[in-house]
Structure 1
């Protein structure tokens, strides 16, 4: 999908999020090599987890958008709320 309007999630947005997650994970590995305190490592791991969760949300949003793109009766706000709940309950 090459559309860049706010209502569509692009591959570039997903790729950017995943690259950010990879960078954060590389940082965690450096912290481990430096014997940084457990608390510091765990904070960064939580940030990685959050970033990956956001990437998952983008992938799911893109999939839903692609599936319902041609249907006029879709309530986008309800879909977004459902996605938020999905990630919060895992």
Structure 2
């Protein structure tokens, strides 16, 4: 499902915020690694894992919303590969909501 676009991605206006949030998540993951290395209490580690999962999920939702409002909506408006875009959206929703 990898698709390369020559045009600007729908998340472009929020790209700096997304990168900032992903860097924060990266720091949280490094912190988790250190917690395990230091032998921290299991519950503390699990709480931090839940926080990382939630933060990553929020980034994903932001990109998903942007994709839907941008790429998918544009395809529907222009009657350009609308069936393909809807199928792609359904597939990505299935993957995104998988546990």
Report TM bin, short chain: 0.5 to 0.7
TM-score, length-scaled by structure 1: 0.64
Structure 2 residues without counterparts, runs of 5 or longer: 1-7, 78-92
Q: Residue 5 of structure 2 corresponds to which residue in structure 1?
A: none
| Rg comparison, structure with higher value | 2
Structure 1 residues without counterparts, runs of 5 or longer: 2-7, 72-85
* Structure 1 stretch displaced more, 50-59 or 15-24: 15-24
Describe how 1:1-90 pairs up with structure 2 within 5 A: 10-67=14-71, 68=73
How many residues are treated as equivalent by the alignment? 72
TM-score, length-scaled by structure 2: 0.59
Distance 1:9 1:43, change over 3 A: farther
Compute the RMSD of aligned alpha carbons. Answer: 2.8
